[in-house]
Structure 1
Amino acid sequence: MPALQGKADRPKRIVVRIHSAPPHHNAGGEWALFSMLRPLAERGHDVQVWLSRYGKARDPYHVDGIMVIPLAARLDFGSAVRHADVVVSQYENVPAAGALARGYGIPFVVLAHNPAPVIFKNIAAGSTALVVYNSMHLQAEAEALFAERPKWLKPSKTLVVRPPVFAADYATTPGDLITMINLNREKGGDLFWKLAARLPEHRFLAVEGAYGHQIVRDLPNVEVIRQVPGDQMRDQVYARTRVLLVPSHVESWGRVGVEALASGIPVMATPTPGLSESLADAGIFCEAGDVEAWEASLRALDDPAEWSAASGRALQRSKELDPSGDLAAWVEAIENL
């Protein structure tokens, strides 16, 4: 990833609270977070990620040069917050991390990946320095929610940072498989297996996800592999993929779809607000319950001309989603707190 120019004039101590982290937990929200933390570390800021759940790791370790502190390693998170310049959190850690930061008068930053009311309620609890939305549609949903509930305090400063994907980290020559990543029900795992059964002459790749009950069945044309760390996705997944399926019932952005675009891999997806925004005209959209439409679209991509046209749209959309501008705005916002 290209570094932002120079070092910060006043390096900050940035303490981050999340439940789990790569390489043991590989989900889009966590990889997006580390993509946002990397340029801060490159600018000379002291960035520490503190985990709130017990996991496999027992000792501190580094991801992309950023210190990760497992729950089993240290229990003094409160002290770390007290001595921080900025506290950042996301998902279920927002209420507790926010309370600690506010108690010590430390600027608190929330990364909002979904419109969960509990998150926005705690954003509105007061003195949230910055709220970062992962998409324009999520920002609009939040604005509508704050307007409906006038007793809630609307955050004074907001920013949209789309989950950063640098194409060079993922670009490869596409393979020949129809792939889906994360086989839980909300991601559309049932549909994947229906399609594999309907298309026995096609070969499929099923990549288990980091969370949710994984729907795994036994079909001769399907290879199932365990979850793959983000920095290995290019070689282990996208280099083997001809078409990516993202049949999610709920998706606020859809990072894996954007990763696949970098290789010109056509992405078939449900038209959730997030996937519609991220994939734009590069997406091939089918409703979640319309198995016939998904099958017909996959068969259409067997035509080399159809696949080539879809691949070209994917590459163009990947260029449009270059994250450099979003990250520069993010770093500036943090340094100005």
Structure 2
Amino acid sequence: MLVSMLRPLVERGHDVTVWLSRYGRAAEAYEYRGIQVVPLQARLDFPSAVRRADVLLSHLECVPSTSSLARGYGKPMVVVCHNTHRPSFRDMAAGGTSLAVYNSLWMEREAEVFFAEYPKSIRPAGSLIVRPPVFASEYATKPGKAVTLINCNPEKGGNVLEALAKRMPEQQFLAVRGAYGTQILPDLPNVEIIEHVEGQAMRETVYARTRVLLMPSSYESWGRVGCEALASGIPVVAHPTPGLCESLGEAGIFVDRADLDGYEAVLRKLLTPAEYRLASKRAKARSAELDPKADLAAWCTTVEGLSG
């Protein structure tokens, strides 16, 4: 999500630098899509970069340390929230957050409930909703034949995929290994396992082989991969988390993750051409509704306003 939000700032002529907080393979600074990236191993001076910056942006576990530097140097601070877990909101409640960015309406409402207990002086000065940007042209392809789950840990529905593959031996399934969590990767003749896929390769490696996407997640604050699948008219069968209900809208086919009979019935229904055409049409219509241009324009304008 962050790269998709930073690219438009680069396109508008801003210098954008991302400082990584975890060790990785790279040891020297490099450029990615116009964004300067500084690995932790480069051991460069982050506080000096903060002093020269116009606006700071942070998320997840990096918020407390970045916020303290922002307050120390008197810099505007933007916090991007990816979930409604208590630390995401609590870490913004130290004062000095100029802008909180939420990825959905329901997350903004949850934040309002959280901050109602805090003095106004330490709440974020402003807020903005930027839905995780998905440019349909970067993902649209001709759907394939498999029923797919992306990230097969239990929370994302690895157990559901395994159970459905056993119930439907005639149907091809695709299990994409996730980047985190214990993976449930069934050793079954109708399940093909794909190793973790980088974002830019998702269209060819995953969506071009997918007929239906499963999202029986126990928690999703939005559900980006579902929106990526919609670009190709791929129906998404999902557990009704608040985030998935908001992101998929009328295109979503919602079944409780504990209802395996329901999932099987929906998949068998989607095997019929007429039902699939209707579901695919709704998916493409929702994808068009989620065009990120307006969100990103508002985002860029707001950040530019913070820099004075």
TM-score, normalization: structure 2?
Answer: 0.97
Equivalent residue in structure 1 for 2:279, among 297, 310, 333: 310
Contact 2:97 2:123 in 1 (8 A): no
> 188-197 vs 54-63, which deviates more?
54-63
**Which residue among 55, 62, 67 is the counterpart of 2:36?**
67
The yes-or-no answer on 1:84 pairing with 2:46 is no
Q: 1:212-250: per-residue Cα shift (whole Å, max 9, x none)?
A: 222223111011111111111111110110000011100
- Which runs of 5 or more residues in structure 1 are unaligned? 1-31
| 1:305-324 CA distance string (max 9 Å, x none) | 00110000000000000000
Task: Compute the displacement of 1:275 (Å).
Answer: 0.2
Structure 1, 242-251 or 153-162: larger mean CA deviation: 153-162
Q: Give 1:129-168 correspondences, 5 Å limit.
A: 129-150=98-119, 153-168=122-137
With 153-162 and 304-313 compared, the bigger mean Cα shift is at 153-162
1:212 to 162, 181, 187: 181
Per the alignment, in what secondary structure is the counterpart of residue 154 of structure 2? coil
8 A contact 2:235–2:283 mirrored in 1: yes
Matched-pair contact (CA < 8 Å) for 1:170–1:233: yes
Structural mapping, 1:220-231, within 5 Å = 220-231=189-200
Partner of 1:49 in structure 2?
Answer: 18
Q: Could you say what secondary structure the match of 1:72 adopts?
A: helix
Partner of 1:252: 221
SS in 2 for 1:336: helix
Separation (CA, whole Å) in 2 of partners of 1:116 and 1:77 = 28
Give the percent of matched residue pairs that are identical in Structure 1 and Structure 2: 61
3-state secondary structure, aligned to 2:116: helix
8 Å contact 1:95–1:119 — kept in the other structure?
no
User: TM-score when scaled to structure 1?
Assistant: 0.88
Q: Secondary structure of the equivalent of 1:245?
A: strand
Q: Is 2:100–2:124's contact at 8 Å kept on the other side of the alignment?
A: yes
SS in 2 for 1:115: coil
Q: Does 1:100 align with 2:59?
A: no
Task: Name which of 214, 239, 263 aligns with 2:208.
Answer: 239
Shift of 1:99: 1.1
Q: CA deviation at 1:59?
A: 2.3
**Mapped partners of 2:218, 2:17: distance in 1:** 34
Partner residue in 2 for 1:203? 172
- Assess if the C-alpha contact under 8 Å between 1:178 and 1:205 holds in 2: yes
| 1:270 and 2:239 matched | yes
Deviates more, 1:263-272 or 1:214-223: 214-223
Among 37, 49, 54, which residue is 2:6 paired with?
37
The equivalent of 1:25 in structure 2 is: none
Q: Which runs of 4+ in 1 moved over 3 A?
A: 148-152
Cα distance in 1, alignment partners of residues 65 and 185 from structure 2: 35
> 3-state DSSP class of the match of 2:155?
coil
**Secondary structure of the corresponding residue to residue 81 of structure 1:** helix
Aligned partner (choices 246, 257, 264) of residue 295 of structure 1: 264
Q: Number of residue pairs matched?
A: 306
Correspondence for 1:125 among 90, 94, 98? 94
Residue 296 of structure 2 aligns to a residue in which SS?
Answer: helix
Deviations 1:281-330 (A, max 9, x none): 10000101111111111111011100110000000000000000000000
CA contact (8 A) 1:121 1:152 kept: no
Q: Is the 2:22–2:40 Cα contact (8 Å) retained in structure 1?
A: yes
Residue type matched to 2:269 in 1? Answer: A
Report SS of the residue matched to 1:211.
Answer: coil
Please report how far the alpha carbon of residue 57 of structure 1 lies from its aligned counterpart in structure 2 after TM superposition. Answer: 2.2
